[in-house]
Structure 1
């Protein structure tokens, strides 16, 4: 419940603080006095977006602060989810709006996001203004009314969970189908490319080996001639390297007998001779190995040409890159091959989740429809009390082609206030006054079903007068026994039923005009009710009528 509201530097308000009590409180005042300003300030701490134009002229900032008693409204889990301080008794909401456009929101002195503030505000106060009557034309609002009065919280939560799971599975299935479509479009080309790479049976390091061998085959004649010449120089000519080195070795061996210091040199020359013979033999081996083979050369050129073509086609520079690309294509083709199985599995899973969703949608629909006779009966009784004796009201249900987040049902309120007129959609038949009374009855039923801490009616009495207004006030008074109700009104019949009465007025301070509010004493209240009865000139008869109305209530 709202305990107090503090407003500073907002519109025409310099500074004011209002304390509210439980029950039914009324706020009255002349047109233009500033009742809507107070309501606007309250809306800011409930999460409405701010406008710097709302700041009082020449002020640097405006501050609105509301203190709420939350002891009976089980908000601990919400505060825990938001990671806010919660003492279980009192909650303070505050907004600060600066002339430079900055705005800050606080819950119990902790800064919060505006959307989070709105989430808390929706749990504390329902502000019903005249334009909200238009929501009666909205099928989504009508369905929410049915859900609140039928108490479908559990069924709707269960359905919402199943719907979210189904939609997630459906989206995943759609993505997989799209992937399958794209894969099928490129599968043939991918298989052609993969086959070309696979048939090559490429090996790491192959290109360098082939290029080296081709170079040798291409110059076989020059290689063979060079190797032959080298062999001849080493051993076959008359003064070959081997024969001369052998002569050097023999000579050193003879001298060594007389000069032992040469033993190391002798060993080195002997080693050189042996090494030279090995070199000659290896050269001879290479000579035999190297052959001019046009067929081999052609094979090497064809193999390398195929490798070069693949590298150019796939923008690769090495065989290793082609091998990596081939393996990636192979994995893609494996995925394509397994996609049908995955699709079948996901289609089955999605179908099962849809069946679960539809079953829960049916449970939700049954709960809604079961409550309809009671809702229609109670609403007709309440409207009859508000002097609509011939009223007819029906909730028309239809099944959606495809369920959405709210379930499989659409609901439309059908209404008629006259005997010979068949019920029609509210938006097509209800007048402004009828719409106000219908909404009041719905709000009073919702209030009893949901235990909302506070509801504020902003001139819901529009289009009513006399006995109807008196009964509107009685409904609001009765609601005040179960919750805090604040009514902004121009009608004395309603104002006289409040347990507390606040007057909004303007005060002229010479160079500025400010909006003020005060709680009326019993005597002041008589004067205000009389003013509302007779207008600017308060008559004795109006005063007597005011006393009668207040005493009666």
Structure 2
């Protein structure tokens, strides 16, 4: 519910702050006093676009702030979805800067207009005689029926299952599309895979093969150089090993004289050991080195295969080829097993369709069962509102397709006159009739679900007498379970409010301003008497006002 509203520097409002209670609140005022300005400011809180013309003083910013108690509205999921901090006492603030820019905040967190509109429509429903399009929409009509049928939980279950069903259908389409393309590519992928499988790929093999190829391809030159190395190491006259052995023996004789000679001896001895190891390895390499034309041909062939595959697949390593081989194996395997996957997916879809059909039939049954009760309540209320011949013809027809809220096609027809033809609401009812129908529907809804604050803006235009009295009674009854505002010119309705606010203009320092004040009991008597008889109040008008209030 709306607990307070503050407006600063908006249109003819300089500064205004008013607090509201639950129940039924009346707003009255002379034509042109500024009721539309008040509604305009409130609409900015609900996400309406703003411009500089809204500013009273174009050199200062306009600030509109509303506080709502939303503890009973179950809006936690909406706040979470919009990434907002949830507070039971939620503050919405709208600012229009002199530059023309507009900013909006929910609990001090900046929000865009889309988020503000989503939240706003869950907090306040502003309804005037000219705003009845919602009533004629199929979506709203379903909401009315489902509220009475207590379908909230089962509809939620249906929507969750429908989401899964649509996902399964999408996955099946993707499988079928993939199959159509995959069949074309299957032979080519199989050929590519067989090439890679035949190559018997091993990570790191390329480097080993290239090393072996260089050895086998240059074996004579390698033999020659190894022989030279052998001679340089072990030739009796100039060999490195005999020379190092002689040097070692010489230094060994000096090593006993000084530590520095002993150090030289150790270093030469270490070098001799290393060179001896080198010599042995050269000797082994010579012995094991043999020309092998057949092996060279095998290595050359394998290298050609690997390089051709790398060039073909535009990669730089055998590891990349192995990765491609794995991907091809998955594609080929997936294609070959695609029929089984499609059959499995089709079976999942059939099972989900069965679940959805079961839920849809339950929804349909509950809707069908509640329609006579809705029809009776609406026709009874409308009879009391001066439409004794109003009749509804409401039917839900079970269809084949899964729709957003079940499988029903809704026919919501109306006839205002006895013996008249039934037609769509927007064709069968006048503007005034639509307003009374909306009041009746909102009245019925308020008994079944928690509606947001509702503000009726002069929906009583064109009615009087007992009908206006009944409209007031309906709004008063609604206010037992929700917060209701009525902007009215009718004293019969104004007298029924728990609280009464007056919109008025006044000149302050030769500047016209709009203001809103809450009237006490005596002020209400005066206001209602003036609504009855004009500014020149008679004693009978005052007595009548007191009677209405009592």
TM-score (norm 1): 0.78
Aligned to 1:6: 6
Following superposition, the deviation at residue 370 of structure 1 comes to 0.8
Q: Which runs of 5+ in 2 are unaligned?
A: 254-264
CA deviation profile, 1:314-358 (whole Å, cap 9, x unmatched): 123344433343233224333444444444333323332232222
Question: Secondary structure at the residue paired with 2:447?
Answer: helix
Following superposition, the deviation at residue 138 of structure 1 comes to 0.8
1:152–1:364 CA contact under 8 A, matched in 2: yes
2:172–2:345 CA contact under 8 A, matched in 1: yes
Aligned to 2:307: 308
Q: After the TM superposition, which residues 457-536 of structure 1 pair with which residues of structure 2 at under 5 Å, given as runs? A: 457-520=456-519, 524-525=523-524, 528-529=527-528, 531-532=530-531
Aligned to 2:261: none
Q: Distance in 2 between matches of 1:277 and 1:507?
A: 116
Q: Distance in 2 between matches of 1:391 and 1:404?
A: 30
Q: Distance in 1 between matches of 2:116 and 2:58?
A: 28
Aligned to 2:358: 359
Q: After the TM superposition, which residues 382-393 of structure 1 pair with which residues of structure 2 at under 5 Å, given as runs? A: 382-393=381-392
Q: Distance in 2 between matches of 1:376 and 1:454?
A: 25
Q: Distance in 2 between matches of 1:274 and 1:394?
A: 108
Aligned to 2:291: 290
Following superposition, the deviation at residue 204 of structure 1 comes to 4.6
Following superposition, the deviation at residue 461 of structure 1 comes to 1.8
Establish whether residue 36 from structure 1 lines up as the match of residue 32 from structure 2: no
Q: Distance in 1 between matches of 2:192 and 2:362?
A: 55
Aligned to 2:163: 164
Aligned to 2:95: 97
Q: Per the alignment, do residues 80 and 27 of structure 1 end up closer, same or farther by CA in structure 2, a change over 3 Å counting?
A: closer
Q: Which runs of 5+ in 1 are unaligned?
A: 235-240
Following superposition, the deviation at residue 470 of structure 1 comes to 3.6
Q: After the TM superposition, which residues 409-420 of structure 1 pair with which residues of structure 2 at under 5 Å, given as runs? A: 409-420=408-419
The more displaced of 132-141 and 157-166 is: 157-166
CA deviation profile, 1:221-277 (whole Å, cap 9, x unmatched): 8889x699989x98xxxxxx979899xx9xx99xx9xxx98xx99xx99xx999999
Establish whether residue 20 from structure 1 lines up as the match of residue 20 from structure 2: yes
Following superposition, the deviation at residue 17 of structure 1 comes to 2.7
Q: Distance in 2 between matches of 1:132 and 1:415?
A: 18
1:50–1:97 CA contact under 8 A, matched in 2: no
Following superposition, the deviation at residue 134 of structure 1 comes to 1.3
Following superposition, the deviation at residue 550 of structure 1 comes to 5.1
RMSD over aligned Cα, in angstroms?
4.4
Following superposition, the deviation at residue 504 of structure 1 comes to 1.2
CA deviation profile, 1:6-53 (whole Å, cap 9, x unmatched): 322222111223343444332122332211221233344455555554
The more displaced of 200-209 and 388-397 is: 200-209
Q: After the TM superposition, which residues 56-205 of structure 1 pair with which residues of structure 2 at under 5 Å, given as runs? A: 56-58=56-58, 60-68=60-68, 73=72, 83-86=85-88, 91=89, 93-99=91-97, 100=99, 101-107=101-107, 111=109, 113=111, 124-204=123-203
Aligned to 2:257: none
The more displaced of 481-490 and 200-209 is: 200-209
TM-score (norm 2): 0.78
The more displaced of 46-55 and 358-367 is: 46-55
Q: Distance in 2 between matches of 1:281 and 1:17?
A: 103
Following superposition, the deviation at residue 120 of structure 1 comes to 6.0
Aligned to 1:346: 345
2:505–2:515 CA contact under 8 A, matched in 1: yes
2:4–2:68 CA contact under 8 A, matched in 1: yes
Q: Distance in 2 between matches of 1:222 and 1:523?
A: 123
CA deviation profile, 1:461-489 (whole Å, cap 9, x unmatched): 23434543343233223334554321112
Q: Per the alignment, do residues 122 and 550 of structure 1 end up closer, same or farther by CA in structure 2, a change over 3 Å counting?
A: farther
Aligned to 2:544: 548
Q: Per the alignment, do residues 349 and 520 of structure 1 end up closer, same or farther by CA in structure 2, a change over 3 Å counting?
A: same
1:106–1:112 CA contact under 8 A, matched in 2: yes
2:364–2:398 CA contact under 8 A, matched in 1: no
Following superposition, the deviation at residue 84 of structure 1 comes to 3.8
1:44–1:95 CA contact under 8 A, matched in 2: no
Quick check: which has more Rg, 1 or 2? 1
Q: Per the alignment, do residues 290 and 357 of structure 1 end up closer, same or farther by CA in structure 2, a change over 3 Å counting?
A: same
2:226–2:282 CA contact under 8 A, matched in 1: no
Question: Secondary structure at the residue paired with 1:490?
Answer: coil
1:155–1:364 CA contact under 8 A, matched in 2: yes
Following superposition, the deviation at residue 69 of structure 1 comes to 5.7
Q: Distance in 1 between matches of 2:328 and 2:477?
A: 76
The more displaced of 184-193 and 117-126 is: 117-126
CA deviation profile, 1:109-144 (whole Å, cap 9, x unmatched): x54646776666555543323343111221011111
